Amino acid sequence: MPTVDELLARRARHLPRATSLHYDRPLHIVRGEGTYLIDADGTRYLDCINNVSHVGHANPRVAEAACRQMRVLNTNARFLYEQLFDYVERLTDLLPDPLSICFLVNSGSEANELALRIARAHSKRRGVVVLDGAYHGNTTSLIDISPYKFNGKGGEGRPPHVQIAATPDPYDGRFRGDASGADYAQDVADAFERAEQDGHPAGTFIAESLLGCAGQIDPPPGYLQAAYAAARAAGAVCIADEVQIGFGRMGTDFWGFQTVGQDVVPDIVTLGKPIGNGHPLGAVVTTPEIAESFATGMEYFNTYGGNPVSCVVGSAVLDVIEQDGLQEHARLVGERLARGFAELAQRHSVIGDMRGHGLFRGVALVTDRETHTPATSLARSLVQRLREDEQILLSLEGPGDNVLKLKPPMPFADSDADRLLEAIDRLLTAHTA
Ligand code: PMP
């Protein structure tokens, strides 16, 4: 077995420096199994990071479906094959009316890129309103609408056709304190107004209903309804980016916009990550009316999008979610985590805030509960100790790099939750001592 140093040397020769790794001393992972990742020494790590492996690492039902289909046929959607229709029928059945027209693609970035094109074709306006701290993907157009990137390291700042509305963060947002959903939504209305005045009218509002990269943000009640109302009043198309949060992770609902928005129906929904359990798959689902605006005469062709192998993988993922009751499971284990963290917060004052739903949660560590000052170095050392002393993988998020980001594979068990809570308790107790 090669050593980590040998692998790092090989990596340095052929991989770009712009890419990064988890941990200063990265892990050489050789196998995945359910909620565990196993390294070259045989150490089993509890994985709280990989929401992509939605129905569990190396899920045998998904692997078998893919292998079976690869032996029979893989081609593109210019031919007719039932696997495609079987899958898009099931997928669109999971979304509210009138979201019924589905484009299959190969990643979350591709989904958002296409959604942006569709929204622009429908609204006939190029400008976009985005939320501060958001990330929507790695293409040129998506870096342009991702403040997380264009205002981050190496970024070139906000492009003129993009306006930023405040992160609807009840804990640390711009309007702090008891600002309501309507207060934050007013900022969306103002962003559309600024777009108009700047001569770059906006026809798209794109948002994650709960924000991942911005720090696992759960907006205040009423926010999404009011934000969509503001966007629609300005004549814009509302895109819900469900790439991180969709497919039952919320527990109470299948989609994040349902949990946060209640009765909100986006104009376009974009899907990725969990949709294929690691197989490259993504989707854009929209209304017949909006899809019609995209039928300009220019053909939309995607070589791999909707290929039969991807379709059976997508169907197998839905089978497992259904057969194993993973949405309800996420609700129950999520509540157990919430109760556990609430209990820890009584004994550890570094826990400043807990938020999220189901198996998508954030825990903000602060040095001071009054000022909310991020406990960044403590958070970083906690993540390091969790890996070394407890064999638990966890990542950080948020502008202060102080939010513990929980988004494990959905089969995450009660015993996994307890193990995580006990480990954090032990490490925070040792830290205080
Ligand atoms: N949208 C969101 C909210 C994401 O978190 C990501 C990836 N982190 C993307 C889009 C892009 O997805 P992908 O990396 O599959 O292109």
pTM for this structure?
0.98
- Provide the H-helix boundaries in 278-324: 288-294, 308-323
Cβ–ligand 1 contact at 208 (below 6 Å): yes
Residue owning the nearest CA to atom 7 of ligand 1: 137
Query: Can you say how many angstroms the Cα of residue 268 is from the centroid of all Cα atoms in its chain?
Result: 16
Cβ–ligand 1 contact at 258 (below 6 Å): no
Strand partners, 39: 29
At 177 the pLDDT is 73
| Eight-class DSSP state of 275 | G
Rg of the chain's alpha carbons, rounded to an integer?
22
At 390 the pLDDT is 98
At 308 the pLDDT is 98
Superfamily of domain 4-55+325-432: Aspartate Aminotransferase, domain 1 (3.90.1150.10)
Q: What is the rounded CA–CA span in Å between residue 51 and residue 54? A: 5
Q: CB-based burial of residue 136 (10 Å sphere; 0-12 exposed, 13-18 middle, 19+ buried)?
A: buried
Q: How far is the CA of 345 from the centre of ligand 1 (A)?
A: 31
Cβ–ligand 1 contact at 135 (below 6 Å): yes
Cβ–ligand 1 contact at 139 (below 6 Å): no
Cβ–ligand 1 contact at 106 (below 6 Å): no
CB 57 within 8 A of CB 46: no
Cβ–ligand 1 contact at 270 (below 6 Å): no
Q: How far is the CA of 274 from the centre of ligand 1 (A)?
A: 11
Tokens in use for 68? 């079976």
At 68 the pLDDT is 98
| Eight-class DSSP state of 328 | H
Cβ–ligand 1 contact at 243 (below 6 Å): yes
Strand partners, 29: 39
Give the atom of ligand 1 at the shortest distance from the alpha carbon of 109: 16
Q: CB-based burial of residue 37 (10 Å sphere; 0-12 exposed, 13-18 middle, 19+ buried)?
A: buried
Tokens in use for 383? 């993540």
Other Cβ atoms within 10 Å of 335 Cβ, number: 14
Tokens in use for 72? 């029979």
Give the atom of ligand 1 at the shortest distance from the alpha carbon of 282: 15
At 140 the pLDDT is 98
At 198 the pLDDT is 97
Q: How far is the CA of 350 from the centre of ligand 1 (A)?
A: 30
Cβ–ligand 1 contact at 108 (below 6 Å): yes
Cβ–ligand 1 contact at 409 (below 6 Å): no
Tokens in use for 183? 């207060």
Q: What is the rounded CA–CA span in Å between residue 170 and residue 176? A: 6
Q: Which residues contact 249 (CB under 8 A, 6 or more apart)?
A: 51, 54, 256, 274, 330, 357, 358, 359, 360, 407, 410
| Eight-class DSSP state of 273 | G
Q: What is the rounded CA–CA span in Å between residue 398 and residue 196? A: 30
Cβ–ligand 1 contact at 274 (below 6 Å): no
Q: Is the dihedral of CA 410, 413, 418, 424 positive or negative?
A: negative
Which CATH code of 3.60.10.10, 3.30.460.10, 3.40.640.10, 3.40.50.300 fits the domain covering 60-323?
Answer: 3.40.640.10
Of the candidates 185, 187, 107, the one whose C-alpha atom is nearest the C-alpha of residue 142 is 107
Residue owning the nearest CA to atom 13 of ligand 1: 108
At 175 the pLDDT is 85
Q: Are strands 395-397 and 127-131 parallel, antiparallel or unpaired?
A: unpaired
Q: How far is the CA of 52 from the centre of ligand 1 (A)?
A: 10
Residue owning the nearest CA to atom 16 of ligand 1: 109
> 3-class secondary structure for 175-201?
CCCCCCHHHHHHHHHHHHHHHHHCCCC
Give DSSP secondary structure letters for 56-103: -BT-HHHHHHHHHHHHH----TTS--HHHHHHHHHHHHTS-TT--EEE
Other Cβ atoms within 10 Å of 263 Cβ, number: 9
| Eight-class DSSP state of 139 | S
Tokens in use for 226? 């009011």
Cβ–ligand 1 contact at 240 (below 6 Å): no
Q: Which residues contact 404 (CB under 8 A, 6 or more apart)?
A: 362, 363, 364, 365, 379, 382, 383, 394, 396, 424
At 176 the pLDDT is 75
Domain locations in the chain? 4-55+325-432, 60-323
At 432 the pLDDT is 86
Of the candidates 326, 309, 325, the one whose C-alpha atom is nearest the C-alpha of residue 65 is 309
Residue type (1 letter), 94: L
pLDDT lower than 70: segments of the chain:
none
Mutate-to-test residue for ligand 1 from 54, 135, 208, highest number of ligand atoms within 8 A of CB: 135
Q: How far is the CA of 109 from the centre of ligand 1 (A)?
A: 6
